[in-house]
Amino acid sequence: MPPRFADPSDASLPLHVVAEDRLDDWRSALPPMQAAWLDAVGFAAAPGEVQPLPAAGGGLAGAVAGYGTAKARARGRFHLAGGAARLPAGAYHLEADLEGPALEAEALGLLLAAYRFDRYKTQKPLAARFKAPAGIDAARVEAMAAGECLTRDLINTPACDMGPEALEAALFDLAARHGGTARAIRGDDLLAQNFPLIHAVGRAGPQAPRLLEMTWGDAGPRLTLVGKGVCFDTGGLDIKPAASMGLMKKDMGGAATVLGLADMIMALNLPLQLRVLVPAVENSVSSNAFRPQDILTARNGLTVEVNNTDAEGRLVLADALALAAEEDSDCLISMATLTGAARVAVGPDLAPFYTDDDAVAAALAGKAGDMADPVWRMPFHAPYDTMLEPAIADLDNAPSGGFAGSITAALFLRRFVGQARYAHFDIYGWQPADAPARPKGGVGQGARAILAALPEVLCL
């Protein structure tokens, strides 16, 4: 079950949130016993620091959580979540000098601190529960937490249990839960219905490749989300070395993230028409695998020379984006774990995005900080378009030279979106080490920033 706030009627203890520069004043107002206790344990109000507060009769009077300095807070996010696991069992309400986006982000972090991936191993649950602070939209925060947990579960599940069939089931379940409509085009039907790139990439896999589609809503502006669903990526005939293949269960992170975002949108009943497209494949090695130097013709008629079978994500997205472009959308967004070059450029914590629309870029950048969901705009640098143009086909899926790999991948995708208002996210989808509210493993990136930007982008 996704994490939820404690029942408002539950008895609860205060969780005092104290910044470092307010510690002395706050401590001076405490009962002498509690002040002496904090002095004895050396409480300094650092971010993530938590101490229980004793009651006069020997029980628990509440707890205090450090909020550090502004400089310390700028170096992380979800500061209260960092100490949530050290709180004694029970329900807590926040006593904090916080409001607006900062309060909402901390409340979200406390919910996400309860996330456990326990499909294969029993995990110790979070002992503490938290009431929704006054002044936040609790339903919105719970919807964001639920969508994020869905994304994490999908990414964390290994390919033996999260192949194209299971990803299809997840999309169908999500549609059924929210009253949407879902369909799938599978196997050779992809060729019959003109999705040749999806078929070519996935035909060697143990499960048939497929294009998944979900629609929801019948009024309002049209939003289309496209997510890369490569459920495992060996690299194909240009096979990856073992070190590079180890995390490839997460190569469907784009699909997982758009499904999580769709869950948020539908749970909040936003006044829009939603369409989700997911090309779901495995990029495997077999006798019928597509080959280097094959030339494939995409759905929109462009020919593509395959110069690396490990640059398969842009191929399956190309057909899905071409389908999306056949219908008018007010905004089209693709999300994919597409390139290692993006990680080199901005590391694992930032979600780089591309758009030609300055208004979309400004909305995303303006909301990302409020949502504790950092993003960074990258350029559709037109002079690099020539790098995509080989001698014998319209496009090259893997330009030689090694430069600007994330940019050229984004430029490749832009060839398939027509005149749509478009943004592309080249995400990592993985938290490499434990952090507050973000355990090591699958993680959503960019979804909350998009959610918060939608009212501005779509004039909701």
How large is the angle between the packed helices 313-325 and 405-414, nearest 10 degrees? 30
Considering only CA atoms, which of 61, 309, 108 is closest in space to residue 197?
A: 309
Note whether residue 247 is domain-resident: yes
The per-residue pLDDT for 72 is 94
Together in a domain, 118 and 153: no
Q: Note the pLDDT tens digit of each residue in 275-332.
A: 999 999 999 999 999 999 999 999 999 999 999 999 999 999 999 999 999 999 999 9
Which pLDDT band holds residue 224 (cuts at 50, 70, 90)? very high
User: pTM for the whole thing?
Assistant: 0.97
Together in a domain, 29 and 116: yes
Q: What is the mean pLDDT of residues 259-269?
A: 98
When the pLDDT of each residue in the chain is averaged and rounded to a whole number, the result is: 97
Q: Which of 129-138, 366-375, 397-406 has the lowest mean pLDDT?
A: 397-406
The per-residue pLDDT for 352 is 98
Query: Strands, E, within 295-386: which ranges?
Result: 295-297, 303-305, 331-336, 351-355, 375-378
Strand partners, 16: 64, 95
Q: What is the mean pLDDT of residues 434-444?
A: 97
Together in a domain, 255 and 108: no
Which pLDDT band holds residue 2 (cuts at 50, 70, 90)? confident
The per-residue pLDDT for 376 is 98
The per-residue pLDDT for 166 is 98
Together in a domain, 309 and 435: yes
Residue 241 backbone class (left: φ over 0; alpha: ψ -120 to 50; beta: rest)? beta
* Consecutive H or E run containing 275: strand 273-283
Q: Which of 50-59, 117-126, 163-172, 440-449 has the lowest mean pLDDT?
A: 50-59
Residue 396 in contact with residue 302, Cβ under 8 Å? no
The distance in angstroms from the start CA to the end CA of the chain is 30
Judged by DSSP in three states, 436 sits in coil
Together in a domain, 55 and 174: no
Note whether residue 418 is domain-resident: yes
| Long-range contacts of the stretch 1-4 (C-beta < 8 A, 24+) | 2/142, 2/145, 2/146, 2/149, 2/150, 3/111, 3/112, 3/114, 3/115, 3/142, 3/145, 3/146, 3/149, 4/111, 4/142, 4/145
Q: What is the DSSP string of 296-321?
A: EE-TTS-EEE-S-TT--HHHHHHHHH
Which pLDDT band holds residue 207 (cuts at 50, 70, 90)? very high
Note whether residue 193 is domain-resident: yes
Among 93, 124, 155, give the residue marking a domain's end: 124
- Helices (runs of H) and strands (runs of E) counted in the chain: 15, 19
Note whether residue 399 is domain-resident: yes
Note whether residue 62 is domain-resident: yes
Report the C-alpha gap between 180 and 213 in whole angstroms. 10
Residue 186 in contact with residue 229, Cβ under 8 Å? no
Note whether residue 135 is domain-resident: no
Return the percent helix, strand and coil in the chain, to nearest 5: 35, 20, 40
Phi and psi of 216, rounded to 5°?
-155, 140
Domain containing 293 — which CATH number? 3.40.630.10
Contacts of 142 (CB under 8 A, 6+ apart): 2, 3, 4, 5, 111
Q: Count of domains in the chain?
A: 2
Which pLDDT band holds residue 137 (cuts at 50, 70, 90)? very high
Which 8-state DSSP code applies to residue 183?
E
Q: Which residues are catalytic?
A: 240, 314
Note whether residue 449 is domain-resident: yes
Together in a domain, 117 and 152: no
Tell me the residue range of the domain where 197 lies. 147-458
The per-residue pLDDT for 400 is 87
Which pLDDT band holds residue 57 (cuts at 50, 70, 90)? confident
Together in a domain, 445 and 409: yes
Q: What is the mean pLDDT of residues 18-44?
A: 95
Q: What is the mean pLDDT of residues 414-435?
A: 96
Q: How many C-beta atoms lie closer than 10 Å to residue 366's C-beta?
A: 13
Q: What is the mean pLDDT of residues 133-154?
A: 97
Considering only CA atoms, which of 359, 453, 344, 450 is closest in space to residue 407?
A: 344
The per-residue pLDDT for 432 is 97
pLDDT over 90 at 225, yes or no: yes
Together in a domain, 95 and 194: no
Note whether residue 338 is domain-resident: yes
Report the C-alpha gap between 201 and 209 in whole angstroms. 8
Q: What is the mean pLDDT of residues 332-360?
A: 97
Domain containing 23 — which CATH number? 3.40.220.10
Which pLDDT band holds residue 58 (cuts at 50, 70, 90)? confident
Together in a domain, 287 and 171: yes
Among 63, 90, 124, give the residue marking a domain's end: 124
Which pLDDT band holds residue 1 (cuts at 50, 70, 90)? confident
Q: How many C-beta atoms lie closer than 10 Å to residue 198's C-beta?
A: 28
Together in a domain, 257 and 110: no
Report the C-alpha gap between 406 and 336 in whole angstroms. 11
Together in a domain, 339 and 400: yes
Percent of the chain predicted with pLDDT > 70: 100
pLDDT over 90 at 5, yes or no: yes
Query: Strands, E, within 76-209: which ranges?
Result: 90-95, 128-130, 181-186
Together in a domain, 154 and 219: yes
Among 124, 139, 174, give the residue marking a domain's end: 124
